[in-house]
Structures are given as C-alpha cells and as structure tokens.
C-alpha cells in the first residue's frame, strides 16, 4: 500500500464531493457544504489550510432519499455507508467513500472504510428557547455517551479526563455502538413534522453550538472551493456567525491544527 500525500487526499475528497454534487443535482436533492467546509469556502475559497475533511448537510427528507437512491457503487468507485443500509456501520451520519483507498481513523476505526466525506442529516428542533435548551441538554448527553463507546484512552489526555471516559464507558458496556447509534438517530428525529422553523445537527452536534433557521436551505448558491464549485447556504453569514462567531478572524497560531488523526492509503 502507498500512503496518500496531502494533495492526493484532498483531490480524492474533492472528487467524491463532486460526484455527490452531480448525483444530488440529478435527483433534485438539496445539500449545503457545512461546518469547516463552508467556513473554508467563505474565508479561504477552499480548505481551511490546516483542515483535512469535507462536510455537507442535508435536511432529513433529502437525506433519506439520498440514502435510498444512492447506487451500490457510483461512478465505478464511490460507495455509501449509512446506518440504514450498512450492517456494520455504527454512526448516525452517512459517509461516501472511495473504494480504491483505505482510511484508518484512530478515534473511530471502521473496517473497509476509504477516504470519505461526511453527510449529516439535519433535523427540526423546538423554536421555543426553553424547550430547545431542554432538548439540547439531553441530545448532547446521548451524543457524549455514544462517543464514549469508541473513543480510546490516550496518554495525550489528562488523567481526570481518561477517568471520566472510563466512568462513561462502564454503564454502556453491554450496549453495541450500532444500537446506540439507532437510538441517537431516533432521538434526533423526535421533533420532525411539528412545524418548527429551527434545525440542528442533532445526530453529532458537539462542535456546533446553536440551532439555526431551517429557511437557510431555501436559497443555495455556488461557492468556489479550490478548483471546483459546490453549493452552500446563500445566507452563509447567518450560519457561520451562529456557529463560529467572528468567523473571518483566524484562530491563534497554536490552534491552527487538525482535529482528525488518521492514515490514508491507496490499495
């Protein structure tokens, strides 16, 4: 096996997203680049220099159609992993990966995974502030418990944090990650269909802090990203300010590091 260079990794990721973009356009599915990907598009016209992944959002209805319609293999080498379709997949988000590559992420090792992009389903949440806070508190607790199943003890982490991780692992020793992911997915969808106008990354929203208006999905625009163009919220400012605050300000130098630890290889 040959390890991918940083340039090759990004090219593979961009090719995956381009294939997903074309598929969504063909099937009439809405998506938006999101998280650090949208921030990178607005602030850097591409990747955040120290970032190494790509993320997109889909409202739950589009996400479900995407999962249902995605072929076994797209364009010869792109495959889908999702809770709904993949027996051994144990996360409540989906990934599209390149089957010509191998990808090993230390925090969440997954057999058979290649270089990939993340696809997050976005669900409705209460408009009322108090109801939202109550839901958010429970949602974040369940996410942390689920994460505790696969996060490993580390010498890089303080003794107290490792001890807390052990304590969180004990009550769920007999529960599979798959079962917990299914519960998390059901809990994420409990507010759908109630006429709410707010949404959130309910299945894995530990980084994003605040809900945002569902209406941002109504108007999408093209954003230059490296040498490609991908679609994102036309009102990117509302989403990014909500998620990151003063998002155009670069973080301190010491924080300009990737949060992902992985290895990627050509087969």
Q: Residue 117's closest CA among 57, 66, 60, 161? A: 57
* Confidence band of 109 (pLDDT split at 50, 70, 90): low
Segment 139-146 shows an average pLDDT of 85
Is residue 84 scored above 70 in pLDDT? yes
- Share above pLDDT 70 across residues of the chain, in percent, rounded to a whole number: 95
Identify the DSSP state of 66.
H
Is residue 160 scored above 90 in pLDDT? no
Q: For 134, phi and psi rounded to 5 degrees?
A: -65, -45
DSSP 128-174: SHHHHHHHHHHHHHHHHHHHHHHPPP-TTS-HHHHHHHHHHHGGGTT
The pLDDT, as a whole number, for residue 163 is: 78
3 state SS of 200? strand
Segment 139-164 shows an average pLDDT of 76
* pLDDT digits 0-9 by tens, 165-218: 777 777 777 788 889 899 999 999 999 999 999 999 999 866 677 899 999 999
The pLDDT, as a whole number, for residue 145 is: 80
* Confidence band of 150 (pLDDT split at 50, 70, 90): low
Measured distance CA(33)–CA(30) in Å, rounded: 10
Task: Look over the chain and give the mean of its residue pLDDT values, rounded to a whole number.
Answer: 91
Is residue 151 scored above 80 in pLDDT? no
Q: Residue 123's closest CA among 45, 183, 212, 56? A: 212
The pLDDT, as a whole number, for residue 206 is: 63
* pLDDT digits 0-9 by tens, 223-263: 999 999 999 999 999 999 988 999 999 999 988 887 778 89
- Provide CATH code, domain 2-123+214-266: 3.30.460
* Confidence band of 156 (pLDDT split at 50, 70, 90): low
Is residue 131 scored above 70 in pLDDT? yes
Is residue 157 scored above 90 in pLDDT? no
pLDDT-wise least confident of 30-44, 148-162, 221-235: 148-162
**Which of the two residues, 147 and 15, has the higher pLDDT score?**
15
The pLDDT, as a whole number, for residue 147 is: 76
Measured distance CA(234)–CA(222) in Å, rounded: 8
**Which of the two residues, 96 and 151, has the higher pLDDT score?**
96
């Amino acid at each position: 096996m040959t390890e991918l260079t940083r340039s090759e990794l990004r090219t593979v990721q961009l090719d995956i997203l381009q294939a997903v973009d074309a598929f969504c356009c063909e099937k009439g599915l809405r998506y938006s680049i999101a998280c650090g990907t949208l921030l990178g598009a607005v602030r850097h016209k591409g990747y955040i220099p120290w970032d190494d992944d790509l993320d997109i959002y889909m409202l739950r209805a589009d996400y479900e159609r995407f999962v249902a319609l995605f072929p076994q293999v797209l364009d010869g080498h792109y495959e889908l992993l999702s809770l709904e379709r993949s027996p051994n997949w144990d996360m409540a988000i989906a990934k599209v990966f390149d089957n010509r590559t191998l990808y090993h992420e230390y925090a969440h090792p997954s057999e058979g995974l290649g270089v990939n992009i993340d696809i997050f389903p976005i669900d409705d949440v209460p408009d009322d502030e108090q109801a939202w806070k109550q839901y958010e508190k429970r949602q974040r607790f369940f996410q942390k418990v689920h994460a505790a199943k696969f996060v490993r003890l580390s010498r890089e982490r303080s003794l107290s944090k490792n001890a807390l991780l052990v304590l969180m692992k004990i009550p769920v020793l007999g529960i599979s990650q798959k079962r917990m992911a299914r519960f998390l997915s059901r809990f994420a969808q409990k507010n759908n269909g109630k006429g709410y106008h707010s949404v959130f990354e309910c299945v894995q929203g530990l980084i994003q802090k605040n809900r945002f208006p569902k209406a941002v999905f109504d108007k999408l625009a093209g954003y230059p990203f490296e040498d490609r163009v991908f679609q994102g919220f036309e009102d990117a400012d509302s989403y990014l300010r909500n998620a990151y605050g003063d998002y155009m300000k670069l973080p301190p130098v010491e924080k300009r590091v990737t949060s992902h630890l992985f290895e990627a290889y050509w087969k």
